[in-house]
């Protein structure tokens, strides 16, 4: 029998320790940093939501918590998971009932709810579980907790692999709302079947079933409340935080407001890996935008055999320049710089500069290809910190090549570079021509002069790589 004189000081100790633990809780920090998440900020920016108006109109709800008790909270909410009201729940209600952060979270919940609810229905799980990612991650794909749980549902690496998610150097499907929801709900279903109690199932979801099993056995316990004081402080509050989220959401969100971002996208299957930087340099499609539309990627690189997502408005441009992007990646970004060709400041001793005036549609990658130089050389010669250039801007380029769109310093007609002039030749039944490599040539520029011919065609026919030497004779098969 418990001595009441010793029991109530123990309760006071537990409550005071809760106040300290809550500040160290994953669920507290995730909520406080909700609007700092780059993915969510981009998501909101693509919607018609007026953030400034939201800030002006937003008011703290000021729920009358003091009048609540276990019976009244159950009467307010239709639920399948038992909601046990406690001091811990009250503290999280106070946390979630804080103006703008709470409003932002409600918008995110309503945006993702249809996908999560449909899977809950198909698995015959309690519908209120659609609020669990709001507690675990603030519905952010980039969220990480102290147990290395990642993504919308904060699944750790072993859990993700067990339930069929791909997690490797390139891809993390815990950041995919549809796939991660399926895995997380499968895990929750197994936990409930194991414990036949939602409080223990949720605790095991956040702390791990081995932790829960050990605490139940060690303390001869059968309930969540009995083992609560011994749970890891960063994740121990999953049950009170979830209960508080159900209550505040049901009170504050009866109108069902949600963001409706305009996300018009298209997909492109990539057989070979492709760097975001190559795409940005050649097409001006922003790397951050690509990262937003492909949140499962761990690097700014599309891996091999990947269904890449692009903004629909820029899909045609990517499709048209796809070959050029790959060639630029292979010949410029991935081609090692030979030590003997490096010069201080990258300026040739006897080189005469050319002034190139930037036109609409120009990017550094294509300008570099056109002049037979590297992007980093143009950056050095012109003190450019990045790859951004403006129409009308003049660039100094130290190259023997010129084009019709630039003016050279001290140039003369004799110094103008000639276009490749092929010399025709027929041999047996194989129709092809020969071309002699000149100074400044590269395979991409040569191929442009022969319709239907690519740089790869020339390399395959001649059994060479992209490195050329002046005077080299190339076979080019006519199409």
Decide if 99 is inside a domain.
yes
Based on the fold, state whether residues 47 and 155 are members of the same structural domain.
Answer: yes
Instruction: State residue 375's pLDDT score.
Output: 79
Q: Determine the Cα–Cα distance for residues 476 and 462; give it in Å rounded to an integer.
A: 8
Helix (H) or strand (E) holding 475: strand 473-477
Based on the fold, state whether residues 343 and 329 are members of the same structural domain.
Answer: no
Based on the fold, state whether residues 346 and 327 are members of the same structural domain.
Answer: no
Domain enclosing residue 287, as ranges: 265-333
The number of folded domains in the chain is: 4
Query: What percent of the residues of the chain are helix, what percent strand, and what percent coil, each to the nearest 5?
Result: 50, 10, 40
State both tokens at 406: 């630039």
Query: What is the separation of C-alpha 308 from the centre of its chain, rounded to a whole number of angstroms?
Result: 12
Decide if 214 is inside a domain.
yes
Longest pairwise C-alpha distance within the chain: 108
Q: Determine the Cα–Cα distance for residues 61 and 106; give it in Å rounded to an integer.
A: 13
| 3-class SS of residue 478 | coil
Instruction: State residue 288's pLDDT score.
Output: 93
Instruction: State residue 348's pLDDT score.
Output: 52
Tell me the residue length of the chain: 479
Based on the fold, state whether residues 180 and 73 are members of the same structural domain.
Answer: yes
CA dihedral sign of residues 278, 281, 285, 291: positive
Alpha helix (H) residue ranges in 33-77: 38-45, 51-57, 70-76
Q: Determine the Cα–Cα distance for residues 87 and 16; give it in Å rounded to an integer.
A: 11
Please, are residues 87 and 225 in contact by the beta-carbon 8 Å criterion? no
- Name the residue among 471, 451, 441, 447 with its Cα closest to residue 459: 447
CATH, residue 428: 3.10.350.10
Q: Which residues pair with 144 in a beta bridge?
A: 150
Q: Which residue has the tokens 């004779």?
A: 473
Based on the fold, state whether residues 465 and 372 are members of the same structural domain.
Answer: no
Helix (H) or strand (E) holding 300: none
Based on the fold, state whether residues 432 and 399 are members of the same structural domain.
Answer: no
Based on the fold, state whether residues 201 and 238 are members of the same structural domain.
Answer: yes
Please, are residues 74 and 89 in contact by the beta-carbon 8 Å criterion? no
Based on the fold, state whether residues 303 and 213 are members of the same structural domain.
Answer: no
Based on the fold, state whether residues 363 and 462 are members of the same structural domain.
Answer: no
Based on the fold, state whether residues 62 and 126 are members of the same structural domain.
Answer: yes
**In a structure prediction context, what are the per-residue pLDDT tens digits for the chain, which is 479 residues long?**
334 444 334 344 444 444 444 557 778 888 877 777 888 888 888 887 766 555 544 444 455 444 455 445 545 555 688 878 888 888 888 888 766 778 888 889 999 999 999 999 999 999 999 999 999 999 999 998 888 899 999 999 999 999 999 999 999 999 999 999 999 999 999 999 999 999 999 999 999 999 999 999 999 999 999 999 999 888 889 999 999 999 888 876 645 677 888 889 999 999 999 999 999 999 989 999 999 999 999 999 999 999 999 999 999 999 889 988 998 898 888 875 444 344 434 555 445 678 888 887 677 777 887 888 887 788 878 878 777 788 888 888 876 554 444 443 333 333 334 444 444 343 433 567 888 888 767 777 787 778 778 777 887 787 776 667 777 888 888 76
Q: Determine the Cα–Cα distance for residues 159 and 203; give it in Å rounded to an integer.
A: 15
Based on the fold, state whether residues 204 and 281 are members of the same structural domain.
Answer: no
Q: Determine the Cα–Cα distance for residues 221 and 97; give it in Å rounded to an integer.
A: 33
Instruction: State residue 286's pLDDT score.
Output: 92
């Amino acid at each position: 029998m418990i001595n009441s004189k010793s029991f109530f000081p123990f309760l006071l100790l537990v409550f005071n320790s809760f106040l300290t633990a809550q500040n160290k809780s994953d669920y507290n920090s995730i909520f406080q940093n909700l609007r700092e998440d780059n993915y969510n900020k981009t998501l909101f920016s693509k919607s018609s939501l007026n953030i400034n108006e939201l800030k002006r109109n937003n008011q703290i709800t000021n729920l009358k918590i003091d009048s609540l008790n276990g019976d009244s909270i159950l009467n307010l909410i239709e639920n399948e998971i038992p909601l046990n009201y406690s001091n811990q729940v009250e503290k999280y209600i106070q946390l979630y009932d804080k103006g703008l952060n709470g409003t932002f979270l409600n918008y995110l919940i309503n945006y993702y709810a249809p996908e999560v609810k449909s899977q809950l229905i198909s698995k015959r799980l309690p519908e209120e579980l659609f609020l669990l990612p709001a507690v675990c991650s603030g519905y952010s794909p980039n969220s990480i907790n102290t147990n290395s749980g990642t993504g919308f549902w904060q699944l750790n690496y072993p859990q993700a692999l067990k339930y069929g998610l791909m997690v490797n150097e390139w891809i993390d499907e815990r950041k995919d709302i549809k796939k991660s929801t399926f895995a997380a709900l499968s895990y929750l279903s197994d936990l409930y079947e194991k414990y036949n109690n939602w409080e223990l199932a949720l605790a095991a979801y956040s702390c791990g079933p081995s932790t829960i099993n050990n605490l139940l056995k060690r303390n001869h316990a059968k309930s969540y409340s009995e083992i609560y004081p011994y749970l890891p402080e960063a994740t121990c509050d999953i049950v009170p935080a979830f209960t508080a989220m159900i209550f505040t959401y049901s009170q504050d969100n009866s109108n069902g407001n949600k963001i409706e971002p305009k996300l018009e996208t298209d997909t492109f299957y990539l057989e070979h890996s492709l760097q975001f930087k190559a795409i940005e340099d050649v097409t001006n499609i922003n790397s951050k935008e690509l990262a937003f539309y492909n949140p499962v990627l761990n690097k700014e690189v599309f891996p091999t055999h990947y269904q890449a997502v692009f903004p629909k408005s820029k899909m045609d441009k990517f499709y048209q320049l796809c070959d050029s992007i790959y060639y630029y990646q292979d010949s410029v970004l991935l081609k090692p710089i030979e030590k003997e060709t490096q010069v201080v400041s990258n300026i040739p001793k006897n080189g005469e500069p050319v002034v190139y005036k930037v036109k609409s549609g120009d990017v550094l990658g294509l300008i570099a290809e056109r002049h037979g130089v590297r992007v980093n050389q143009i950056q050095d010669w012109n003190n450019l910190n990045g790859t951004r250039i403006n129409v009308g801007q003049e660039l100094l380029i130290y190259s023997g090549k010129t084009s019709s769109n630039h003016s050279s310093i001290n140039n003369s007609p004799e110094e103008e570079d000639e276009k490749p002039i092929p010399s025709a030749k027929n041999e047996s039944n194989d129709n092809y021509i020969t071309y002699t490599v000149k100074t400044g040539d590269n395979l991409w520029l040569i191929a442009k002069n022969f319709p239907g011919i690519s740089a790869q065609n020339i390399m395959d026919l001649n059994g060479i790589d992209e490195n050329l030497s002046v005077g080299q004779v190339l076979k080019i098969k006519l199409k």
